Amino acid sequence: MPPLPPYHGTAECSEVNSSFSSRENAPPHSSRPPAYNDHSSYQLFHGPSSYSRPPSSAHPSAGSSEHRPETSSEQPPPDFPPEISFAFLVKFADAAFALQQQKGGACPSAQELLQLADPLEPCLLCLAALHAKKKTIITVSDGVSWCRIASTQLPPLPPGSSDPPTEEDLNAAALALSGCIVRLGNISITRTPRGKHIILARAFQVISQNCQALAERLQTQRRPEVVFPSLPEGGHTAPPSSSPPSYPPPSYPSSAPRPSSHPPPSYPSSSAPHPSSHPPPSYPSSSAPHPSSHPPPSYPSSSAPHPSSHPPPSYPSSSAPHPSSHHASSSYPPSSHPPRAFSRDESVRNAPFRQATGEPEAAAAVRGELRQFPGQEPRCTDTRQAPAVPPAGHQLYGQQSRGADDLQAPAGPQRHQSSGSHRSTPYPAAGQPQQGQHGLRPMGAESFIPLKDLTAYVAKWTIRARVDVKGDIRKYNGARGPGQLFNVELKDKDGEIRATFFNAAVDKWYNILQEGKVYYFRGGSVKPKNPRFNHTRHDYELTFDEKSSIVEAESGADIPSISRADLVDIRGIEEKEVNSTVSLIAIVHDYRPIQSITIK
């Protein structure tokens, strides 16, 4: 899939994003729908009433701030680095709040947050992404701050949704996302000609659905919203002061200069981030960290320079202490990863609705990624255990055992947890691999070449890459008649390339290829890409047919699907250069599909 160039977009896009800015100090609490509509000219959501259910109301029992995720409190949420256990998240959030209060309500800077964590505990947890067009706004939190992200991807729809999904479908889908941990990937930050900031995601997967307690806990505590008006105009790159990994947690470097503490005058009084029901832990309106309209010279973050602007391309599982500190993306070629609209189909695959079978979706979702962290069993907060991951063998697609099959749930979790969540509509994940035979042999022992070395002049090649993004099947009517196709964006350690499957190849491979998994690919054709439509950082693109060989790789640990280089926390987003790409994992507090946007 062709990373599209930065979408400088549509007016509506910019408008939507403008909502992130300033006045959007609304707390993540879903109880404040109006906040989203402050622009009378925009009709962003279906209707306030449908969203007014605060997650907490749905899970009254979990409202207490002391409530902790029941199970596996010591386990990291799926896809989080092993150091990031729930206990850590909670502890970290508490420390962050304490620091915030100590600072008189000012949001701790990234630097300060880093200092709250143990040297080896990454304090930046997320991976985020967004799109444009038919936007969707998701309010997420990383435990420290929260923000709204716009996405054109519709929420994973419940089974039986009609093809243009009905409002009810969308609402149900939106509700189902509350309390989910999602992976929002390939976030693109761009600036429109009019100066608006666009934050778009190309990947959206539900990793876990059992995090209501954590989400509620986060919601019960006021956290500053991170708005994005303060995105640097041009690639401002924080001075790479070597990350200060080790600061004893207790010592809050309150000394850290907080320019932020002086919110620009323009800041709306609304600054009180969470006017809502939860009494502010005591932080002054000043807390409103990001004066919207006037992009602070670089808000708190400025104080916390994000070290190396050029993060390592690949990250060692845990050695990288503070991925967050790396604003890798800043080094990204602008526009290299433009927003890409996700189709509903994809969303469905990532639906939070679980199947009755209660598959360990978390594990499924993370499979691949978690493997990067030896010793970490993929698991979510609770009961869902990681399915025994079959000894990484060369698994032939289509011949997997049921268990393996489970693991394949694409990114997706898609099964709904029966346990008391409001999302109870189980429905099977789409895109399950078929049970067909492919007669392909494992190629684990085969040698493969790096994607970057692939050219039209390489005779017989085998590549080993992760399906970073799988597009939807598109029907078309070309000169040779109708056809169908889908694209995937393949990625390996240091390269990427787009591949296309046409017609019969679609039928054969579409369901086999799953986003996030690593495969050996052979038998495809290489041709120069058309830079007009393909923006991957590769001069060529691939085409596979039904006779090609594609076999899942035994392990994808060396090809991180979530590059730590791109990991940032929410606050880190604003520090990114325009056109940079970042990743983060956050908890969805609220998810509201946008019904329509009326541009004035």
Tally of CA atoms within 13 A in the half-sphere of 164 that contains its CB: 3
Q: Are 414 and 361 in contact (CB under 8 A)?
A: yes
Considering the complex, state which of residue 94 and residue 546 has its C-beta at the smaller distance from DNA: 546
Q: Which is nearer to DNA, 489 or 575 (CB)?
A: 489
Identified binder of DNA from the candidate list 196, 535, 538, 571, rule CB under 7 A? 535
The least distance separating DNA from the CB of residue 301, rounded to whole angstroms, comes to 28
Check binding of 531 to DNA (CB under 7 A).
Answer: yes
Answer yes or no whether residue 402 interacts with DNA by CB under 7 A.
no
**Interface pick for DNA out of 49, 242, 255, 530 (rule CB under 7 A):** 530
Q: Which two tokens mark 597?
A: 């946007």
The count of chain residues that interact with DNA, using the rule CB under 7 A, is: 39
Q: How many residues does the chain have?
A: 600
Q: Which stretches of 310-446 are assigned E, i.e. beta strand?
A: none
Asked whether the beta carbons of 567 and 580 are under 8 A apart, the reply is: no
Tokens 């992404």, residue located = 129
Contact range with DNA by CB under 7 A, out of 224-232, 320-328, 429-437, 481-489: 481-489
Q: What are phi and psi of 390, to 5 degrees?
A: -55, 135
Residue 354 or 508: which CB sits closer to DNA?
Answer: 508
Is 307 a binder of DNA (CB under 7 A)?
no
**d(C-alpha 50, C-alpha 564), whole Å:** 37
Minimum distance of DNA from residue 191's CB (angstroms): 13
Q: Could you say which of 38, 94, 345, 545 contacts DNA (CB under 7 A)?
A: 545
Instruction: State phi, psi for 544 to the nearest 5 degrees.
Output: -115, 150
Report the nearest approach of DNA to the CB of residue 510 (Å).
14
By CB under 7 A, tell whether 476 contacts DNA. Answer: yes
Binding letters toward DNA, positions 123-152, x by CB under 7 A: ----------x-------------------
Contact pick of 269, 277, 503, 596 for DNA (by CB under 7 A) = 503
Does residue 547 bind DNA (CB under 7 A)?
A: no
**Closer Cβ to DNA, 349 or 571, answer by number:** 349
Element (H, E) at 405: helix 402-408
Cα separation, 227 vs 187, in Å, equals: 15
548 touches DNA by CB under 7 A = no
Q: Which of 208, 500, 561, 581 binds DNA (CB under 7 A)?
A: 500
Q: Which is nearer to DNA, 441 or 527 (CB)?
A: 527
Query: DSSP letters of 140-184?
Result: EE-SS-EEEEEESSPPPPPTT--SSPPHHHHHHHHHHTTT-EEEE
Does position 455 interact with DNA (CB under 7 A)? The reply is: no
For DNA, the closer of residues 255 and 530 by Cβ is 530
Least spacing, CB of residue 226 vs DNA, in Å: 26
Q: Of the candidates 194, 262, 527, 547, which one interacts with DNA according to CB under 7 A?
A: 527
- In this structure, what token pair is assigned to residue 59? 């899970």
Which residue in 533, 596, 598, 599 binds DNA (CB under 7 A)?
A: 533
Per CB under 7 A, 290 contacts DNA: no
- Shortest distance, position 504 Cβ to DNA, whole Å: 9
When asked if residue 288 is in the footprint of DNA (CB under 7 A), the reply is: no
Dihedral (CA of 53, 21, 586, 514) sign: positive
Of 101, 543, 555, 595, the residue at the interface with DNA (CB under 7 A) is 543
Question: What minimum distance in Å lies between the beta carbon of 487 and DNA?
Answer: 6
Q: Are 326 and 567 in contact (CB under 8 A)?
A: yes
Tell me how many helices (H) and strands (E) the chain has: 14, 14
Secondary structure class of 113 (helix, strand, coil): helix
Cβ proximity to DNA: between 459 and 479 the closer is 479
**Which residues between 358 and 397 bind DNA (CB under 7 A)?**
none
Work out which of 444, 483, 537, 557 binds DNA, going by CB under 7 A: 483
Residue 441 or 474 with smaller CB distance to DNA: 474
Nearest CA to 589 out of 36, 15, 12 is that of: 36
Listed in sequence order, the residues at least 6 apart from 321 whose beta carbon sits closer than 8 Å to its beta carbon are: 119, 120, 121, 122, 243, 245
Taking CB under 7 A as the criterion, the residue among 338, 387, 410, 516 binding DNA is: 338
Q: Does 5 bind DNA (CB under 7 A)?
A: yes
In the complex, the smallest distance separating the C-beta of residue 6 from DNA, rounded to whole angstroms, is 7
The verdict on 340 binding DNA (CB under 7 A) reads: yes
Question: Contacting DNA (CB under 7 A), which of 49, 60, 439, 480?
Answer: 480
Tokens of 363: 């594990």
Token look-up 């691949």 returns 368
Q: Is 296 in the site for DNA (CB under 7 A)?
A: no
- The one segment of 91-99, 334-342, 357-365, 399-407 that binds DNA by CB under 7 A: 334-342
Instruction: For residue 529, state whether it binds DNA (rule: CB under 7 A).
Output: yes
CA distance 307 to 241: 5
Encoding tokens for residue 69? 């995720």
- Contact between 466 and 516 under an 8 Å Cβ cutoff? The reply is yes
Taking CB under 7 A as the rule, does residue 332 contact DNA? Answer: no
Q: Which helix (H) or strand (E) holds 508?
A: helix 503-509
Q: Which of 50, 159, 167 is nearest to 596 (CA)?
A: 167
Query: Could you say which DSSP state residue 497 is in?
Result: E
Closer to DNA at the Cβ: 170 or 200? 200
Binding status of residue 474 toward DNA by CB under 7 A: yes
State yes or no: residue 509 binds DNA (CB under 7 A).
no
Q: Which two tokens stand for residue 297?
A: 């010279």
> CB neighbours (10 Å) of residue 168?
13
- Region binding DNA by CB under 7 A among candidate stretches 162-170, 314-322, 378-386, 524-532: 524-532
* Short-list 202, 175, 489, 473, CA closest to 345: 473
Specify whether the backbone of 282 is left (phi greater than 0), alpha (psi in -120 to 50) or beta.
left
Which residues does 449 contact at the CB level (< 8 Å), separation at least 6? 458, 461, 462, 463
Binding site for DNA (CB under 7 A): 1-2, 4-10, 133, 335, 338-341, 471, 474, 476, 478-480, 483, 485, 487, 500, 502-503, 505, 527, 529-535, 541, 543, 545
